[in-house]
Amino acid sequence: MKKLYSTIMMLAMMVAALSFTACGDDDDDDGGSSTTGDYLRVTLDGKTYSDKILNWHYAQIDPVGRDDNNKPLTYTYDMCDHFEKEGFLFMFGVVHFSRKDELLACSPGTYSCSKDILSDDFYKNFTFSASLDIDYDEYDWVSGTHKIKSIKEVNGKVQLEGSFTSVFELNGNSKTVTGDYRITIP
């Protein structure tokens, strides 16, 4: 019962956070190609799209839970629906250790992916989750891979660079999204 209550509270916080945030057309200037800022780059149906991630797009659920070793976890996600002008929406987030020192002590490598916050495999460090809507039809996440390439401290915050592959499906139609990102954990 306690886990159910926590799950309901987390979902309520996510809905509240999303209801206060919107992405405008004025924040898509250079498509995320800057080497100094956070970005998201995805390839869908053979075409690559890039977008910047602005600091105010980030939201966190802290704590989202604990890992198998009882370390507190935070879920940092980008609240912007990227690529709406291109006919699809892509959102993603990364679960990570809540404590900065534990996060910086981690090594680059391959980490898990999860369908959503309700999945048991969600509660691991560097778990990647994503969603895909095409023409406002929501595709179900099926499987994926996630690699962390870099973990470093930048201006007192932790910056992650990673790559991913996610497979989504809707009514027997499968879509594979590959990409990479750089996020700075607020």
Read off the pLDDT of each residue in 10-16 and give the average, rounded to a whole number: 43
Name the token pair of 125.
Answer: 């460090």
The answer on pLDDT for 152 being more than 90 is yes
If DSSP codes are grouped into helix, strand and coil, which group holds residue 122? helix
Nearest to 161 by CA among 119, 109, 114, 90: 109
pLDDT-derived band of residue 20, with 50, 70 and 90 as boundaries?
Answer: very low
Both tokens of 105, joined, read 């002590």
CA distance 7 to 90: 23
d(CA 150, CA 161): 5
Per-residue pLDDT, averaged over 91-117, amounts to: 92
Write down how long the chain is: 186
